Each structure stands twice: as C-alpha cells, then as structure tokens.
C-alpha cells in the first residue's frame, strides 16, 4: 500500500512537468477563469444595438485626452483671442538668453539641414536637391510675418515642409521661432543698436 502511494505521488509530480514545452491545440485546463475569458467586442466589429452598428463608439464631442488640452490659443496656436497670429512671445515664455540658446541649439538640429545656419535656405539637403527650395528668412515677405507665423510653420509645416511638432515641444518651437527672428534681425541691425563696448568687435 505504501509503495503504491509513493509510486502514485511520484507519477503525479512527473505528470505535472511532463507536458512542459510540448505543443498542443487543446486549451490548458483553466480552473479559475478570472476575467481571462469574457464576452467582448473585437475592434471594428459590429454591434446591432447602435444605430450605426459600430461596436467602437466615437468619443463624446468635446472630449479631450488627458494632457492634450490646448486651451491657450496664443501658446499653442500662436494666435490671439481674435484668431489672428500674434507678433510676440505668448505669456509665460520669456525672451532671455536661455530661450535663444535653446532656440539656436534646436534650430541647428532640426532646421539647418535645409535652411542652413544662416537661414538663407541653402543647407546641405537643400543643395543636394529639394524639389522646392526653402526660402531665405531674409525675404521681405518672411521678415514682415508675425512671430506667430514662424511658430505656425514649425508646428504645422508649410507647403512641402513637414511639421516639426513631433520633434519640438511647444516651448522649443517658440524658442526656434525666436531664433529665426534673431537670424532675420542679424541682417538689418543698425550700428547704433550695438552696445558701444562691442562695436569695436565688428570687422
């Protein structure tokens, strides 16, 4: 009797390891179902209960995903309350050395390939052949554009230029827009605008 019990116990424990790694089409024994199996609709499947018969329901109108509320039009769209592009930095973004250093840094990474460090639009990629050449930032039309326009082009792209909102967050886009303004200003500064102490440094 004892021998039979031991043999049974050994056999049982061997059985519990025996099938490991073997392939089987039979679903495993699942004593506790938890929520592993339940009725549900697959994505894109049909549900006759709704008038449009789509099981996937659209988000309620006006729904904003968490972290995606862009209520501040001047910050996020570069537009004032009247819907027009603003020609200043939005409240909360301060014009200082830090902003411009950041703008110069991001510009060098994301814009110089086409627009070049100078902003003339003759970057390496542009020189090797873009169907549409990037314009120089010195074009009178672009000089006259409000700062919000530069932000808008970076955010949404323009013509054949793709948007850079995925690479640059809102603050960085304003920093780059400010840097483009610096490049534009660098060509039409009056000697009187340069602090007297630095005038001698100019050739």
Task: List residues binding ligand HEC (CB under 6 A).
Answer: 110-111, 113-115, 125, 130, 132, 134-135, 142, 150, 153-154, 158-161, 164, 176, 180
Whole-number Å distance between alpha carbons of 161 and 128: 16
Q: Which of 161, 152, 172, 166 is nearest to 86 (CA)?
A: 152
Q: How far is the CB of 145 from ligand HEC (least distance, A)?
A: 7
Choose between 73 and 130: whose C-beta lies nearer to ligand HEC.
Answer: 130
Q: Which residue is nearest to ligand HEC (CB)?
A: 159
Burial 126-154 (b: 16+ CB within 10 A, else e): beeeeeeebbbbbeeebeebbbbbbbbbb
Q: How far is the CB of 71 from ligand HEC (least distance, A)?
A: 24
Choose between 74 and 115: whose C-beta lies nearer to ligand HEC.
Answer: 115
Choose between 84 and 158: whose C-beta lies nearer to ligand HEC.
Answer: 158
Whole-number Å distance between alpha carbons of 18 and 11: 10
Contact 113, 122 (CB under 8 A): no
Whole-number Å distance between alpha carbons of 126 and 139: 17
Choose between 127 and 199: whose C-beta lies nearer to ligand HEC.
Answer: 127
Q: How far is the CB of 160 from ligand HEC (least distance, A)?
A: 4
Q: How far is the CB of 123 from ligand HEC (least distance, A)?
A: 7
Q: How far is the CB of 161 from ligand HEC (least distance, A)?
A: 3
Choose between 75 and 154: whose C-beta lies nearer to ligand HEC.
Answer: 154
Whole-number Å distance between alpha carbons of 100 and 142: 19
């Amino acid at each position: 009797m004892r021998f039979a019990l031991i043999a049974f116990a050994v056999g049982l424990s061997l059985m519990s390891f025996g099938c490991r790694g073997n392939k089987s089409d039979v679903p495993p024994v699942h004593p506790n179902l938890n929520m592993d199996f339940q009725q549900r609709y697959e994505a894109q499947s049909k549900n006759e209960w709704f008038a449009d018969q789509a099981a996937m329901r659209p988000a309620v109108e006006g729904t904003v995903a968490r972290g995606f509320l862009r209520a501040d039009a001047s910050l996020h769209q570069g537009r004032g309350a009247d819907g027009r592009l603003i020609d200043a930095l939005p409240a909360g973004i301060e014009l200082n050395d830090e902003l411009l250093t950041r703008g110069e840094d991001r510009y060098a990474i994301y814009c110089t390939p086409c627009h070049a460090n100078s902003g003339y639009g003759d970057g390496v990629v542009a020189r090797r052949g873009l169907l549409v050449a990037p314009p120089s930032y010195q074009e009178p039309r672009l000089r006259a554009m409000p700062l919000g326009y530069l932000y808008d082009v970076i955010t949404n792209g323009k013509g054949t230029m793709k948007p850079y909102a995925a690479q640059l967050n809102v603050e960085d886009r304003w920093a780059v827009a400010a840097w483009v303004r610096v490049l534009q200003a660098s060509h039409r500064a009056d000697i009187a605008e340069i602090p007297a102490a630095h005038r001698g440094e100019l050739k």
